Amino acid sequence: MKISRTLLASILAASMALGGCAMDEKDDDTYQVVMVTDTGGINDQSFNQTSWKGLQDFHNKNGAIVRYLESKQASDFTTNLDRATDTYPDIVWGIGFSLADSLLQVAAMNPDINFAIVDQAFDETPQNVTGVVFKAEESSFLVGYIAGLSTKTDKVGYVGAMKTFVNDQFEYGFLAGVAYAAAELGKEIEVQEQFTESYSDVAKAKGIANKMFANGCDIVFHSAGGAGFGVIESAKENNQFAIGVDTDQSYLAPDNVLTSGLKNVDVAVESISDMDRQGEEIGGKTFSYGLKENGVGIPENNPNMDPEVYKKAMAIQDQIINGELVIPSTEETYNEFITNVIQK
């Protein structure tokens, strides 16, 4: 009894001593960035990992402190964003639109810290929040165009994650690209579509892709984040082509990845953090990254692609950058695109 009482007393004393001194004070010397992942985790081979790469590049260039927190469940978002504010960072990144509500809540409680979020544009952006969106429809249009020119069976597949405005960019950009190629070649190309309803269910994405290949598709594009691994695995097993997303995914299956629709989240994360570091006012705004800003695109080396096709795709890319070709990102603009551009 006596022992346990002494033990209890010493634990209490220790906790008070540690607790008293551990409330960190702000350290003004070094610029500090923290990012909070969504439930995909830091090694999702997709935008969480790319964002972290951007921060590591940022660290290598100017020695800033960079840290990350991984979210395991949706209930971790607020907790982690709040935890991130404890070390008094200069900017806190939320990776992915799932964190939007939590980010607004935590930003309201910490008016002195800047927050930025990938893939989210708010209707009303608070003064200490920055939105970053990507014109993913532009890169998706390019890969759709490439898929349309490359298919031999005149059937291509698309595996989406779930119906959200971000996913719409990929979906309608891709559809428009395929339609554009079909119109150019003067033939019909069928697009089979299905959704995984998840960014991490690899098995489900693989099952969907297997079915598409069995139905005669020879190229499948995905925008299902980490779940999209399944699509690439399936392409490898069926010896057909997959089109990667977000990063150049050709290393996953060198002979079976046609190309990838890049979303250079690292470029955006790095350049916006740098703007903030140099004292530019970034709060209350939404930044948009397209082909022009090198925010999206396709890789330079595509060993599985016909060089002719690549040349044509680059010509289209120039048209998009010039503004001659405006790519649809929603169902409505897609339908307009079909009537105004394709059917002419």
Task: Tell me which residues touch another protein (CB under 8 A).
Answer: 15, 18-19, 22-23, 39, 67-70, 72-75, 77-80, 82-83, 86, 97-98, 101-102, 104-105, 108-109, 111, 162-165, 197-202, 204, 227
Nearer to another protein by C-beta: 288 or 304?
288
187 phi and psi angles, rounded to 5 deg: -140, 175
Cα 263 to Cα 247: distance, rounded to the nearest angstrom: 7
Q: Taking a C-beta distance cutoff of 8 angstroms, is the pair 114, 281 a contact?
A: no
Minimum distance of another protein from residue 288's CB (angstroms): 18
262 phi and psi angles, rounded to 5 deg: -75, 145
Minimum distance of another protein from residue 314's CB (angstroms): 33
Q: Taking a C-beta distance cutoff of 8 angstroms, is the pair 175, 158 a contact?
A: yes
Cα 276 to Cα 114: distance, rounded to the nearest angstrom: 9
Nearer to another protein by C-beta: 201 or 248?
201
Minimum distance of another protein from residue 169's CB (angstroms): 12
Minimum distance of another protein from residue 18's CB (angstroms): 6
Nearer to another protein by C-beta: 163 or 187?
163
Q: How many of the other CB atoms lie within 10 Å of CB of 301?
A: 9
Nearer to another protein by C-beta: 21 or 214?
21
Minimum distance of another protein from residue 140's CB (angstroms): 18
Minimum distance of another protein from residue 165's CB (angstroms): 6
Nearer to another protein by C-beta: 94 or 177?
94
Both tokens of 189, joined, read: 């190309």
C-alpha dist (Å) from residue 32 to 55, 88, 142, 277:
10, 8, 37, 9
Minimum distance of another protein from residue 34's CB (angstroms): 8
Minimum distance of another protein from residue 161's CB (angstroms): 8
CA within 13 Å, CB half, 271:
12
Nearer to another protein by C-beta: 74 or 185?
74
Q: Which residue has the tokens 């890969």?
A: 143
Residue 33 identity (one-letter amino acid): V
Contacts of residue 289, defined as CB under 8 A and 6 or more positions apart, other chains included, come to: 132, 133, 134, 135, 264, 267, 268, 295, 296
Nearer to another protein by C-beta: 151 or 169?
169
- Is the C-alpha dihedral spanning 191, 154, 256, 266 positive or negative? negative
Nearer to another protein by C-beta: 229 or 241?
229
Minimum distance of another protein from residue 76's CB (angstroms): 9
C-alpha dist (Å) from residue 39 to 32, 42, 128, 237, 291:
23, 9, 24, 28, 28
Nearer to another protein by C-beta: 227 or 242?
227
